[in-house]
Amino acid sequence: MSTFKALVVNKSDNEVEAEIKEIGLSDLPEGDLLIKVAYSSVNFKDALACIKDGNIVQNYPIIPGIDLAGTVVTSESGQFQPGDKIIVTGFGLGVSHFGGFSKYARVPAEWALKLPDGLTMREAMILGTAGLTAALSLFELQQNGIQPEDGPILVTGTSGGVGSIAAGIAAKLGYRVTASTGKPDMHEILLEAGVQQFLSREELLTDAKRALSKQQWAGAIDCVGGRTLSSILPSMRYGGVVAASGLTGGTELAMTVYPFIIRGVRLIGIDSVMVSKEKRAKIWELLASVYKPPMLERLSEEISLEQISERVGLMLKGRSRGRTVVKL
């Protein structure tokens, strides 16, 4: 191939513009692995990378795409051979280093994992960073001793990527799942995924200003943050665990310390970007087996490189559903 297509985001005169360009291999950054990208996916962070005040991209121009799955073309690392199917998520991908919205990518071998048995490259990208984050959240609940018999689990933002996958995994593992969503049209698919009960965003915020409220949840997975997270913590059962990963609802956390010092509630931060290679390999193995959510295809829509800009706009308006996988 002499040239190939990529979505390039550039900044000029304080404006940020995304356009499909023909680029060559010499335009790609350095890295041990040249990869023919098969699929990528659209995450909230990619949407932020395409706008002026997203505060995600360090240097322009950038090719966004924090996830990719593809086949190794050339390797300067003993860990990988040409023909290996690999996945890369997080680290600097799509943020400080050209990412997955490109037919070819070059990355450090340290960022790559072999595609686990039990997942196709397309399935791995339906999951992507959202799936890894959802799985890390469930893993932390389990590691901290929250079992299905301890009581119901609350999952928020369940029309989105992290929330819908987390709800699906939790139900598959036997937890009683209550899903909070602002989009009632998602109830049907979430019921199919095993969700048992729903709360609207507003219902969840009713107790937002109380220091402690009725003990409801044994565990919670929150990707919304802000007032949502500060409403959940006072309603955790004694010894409950909350895994917090997101900020679509805000970054402030206004609450008292009472849930922590009266009920022994634990708040655990989830990071999918810099999590160690060993831990991410373990979590991907779980995603390919016992965690693999049943409704991956129904949760996802496939788009082309040309459709990313429109999809990003919907995401920023809070109007996207489930996961968007990009076929390169």
Identify the three-state secondary structure at position 327: strand
Q: Which of 129, 137, 230, 300 binds ligand NAP (CB under 6 A)?
A: 129
Nearer to ligand NAP, 34 or 312 (CB): 312
* CB-based contacts of 314, cutoff 8 Å, min separation 6: 320
Cβ atoms within 10 Å of 147's Cβ, excluding its own:
13
The least distance separating ligand NAP from the CB of residue 285, rounded to whole angstroms, comes to: 19
Residue nearest to ligand NAP (CB): 160
Q: What is the DSSP string of 193-261?
A: TT--EEEEHHHHHTTTT-SS----EEEEEESS-HHHHHHHGGGEEEEEEEEE---TT-S-----SHHHH
Nearer to ligand NAP, 32 or 222 (CB): 222
Using alpha carbons, select from 270, 231, 266 the residue that is nearest to residue 133: 270
Q: Which stretch binds ligand NAP (CB under 6 A): 68-76, 129-137, 234-242, 277-285?
A: 129-137
Contacts to ligand NAP from residues 162-191, by CB under 6 A:
162-163, 181-183
Q: Which of 157, 194, 219, 240 binds ligand NAP (CB under 6 A)?
A: 157
Using alpha carbons, select from 260, 262, 258, 203 the residue that is nearest to residue 227: 203
Q: Which stretch binds ligand NAP (CB under 6 A): 2-10, 22-30, 291-299, 314-322?
A: 314-322
Using alpha carbons, select from 203, 205, 170 the residue that is nearest to residue 184: 203
The least distance separating ligand NAP from the CB of residue 324, rounded to whole angstroms, comes to: 8
Contacts to ligand NAP from residues 36-55, by CB under 6 A:
43-45
The least distance separating ligand NAP from the CB of residue 154, rounded to whole angstroms, comes to: 12
Q: Which of 25, 113, 173, 247 binds ligand NAP (CB under 6 A)?
A: 247
The least distance separating ligand NAP from the CB of residue 256, rounded to whole angstroms, comes to: 23
What is the dihedral angle through the alpha carbons of 139, 143, 149, 151, rounded to the nearest 10 degrees?
A: -70
Contact (CB, 8 A) for 16 and 64: no
Q: Which of 94, 99, 161, 234 binds ligand NAP (CB under 6 A)?
A: 161
Q: Which stretch binds ligand NAP (CB under 6 A): 26-34, 67-75, 110-118, 242-250?
A: 242-250
Q: Which of 135, 272, 284, 295 binds ligand NAP (CB under 6 A)?
A: 272
Q: Which of 130, 205, 288, 308 binds ligand NAP (CB under 6 A)?
A: 130
Which residues are bridge partners to 75 per DSSP? 33
Q: Which of 77, 142, 248, 256 binds ligand NAP (CB under 6 A)?
A: 248
The residue whose two tokens read 């040409």 is: 82
Cβ atoms within 10 Å of 177's Cβ, excluding its own:
28
How far apart, in whole angstroms, are the C-alpha atoms of residue 328 and residue 319? Answer: 24
Q: Which of 126, 315, 325, 328 binds ligand NAP (CB under 6 A)?
A: 315
Which residues are near ligand NAP by CB under 6 A?
A: 43-45, 129-130, 133, 157-163, 181-183, 201, 223-224, 245-249, 270-273, 315, 318, 320
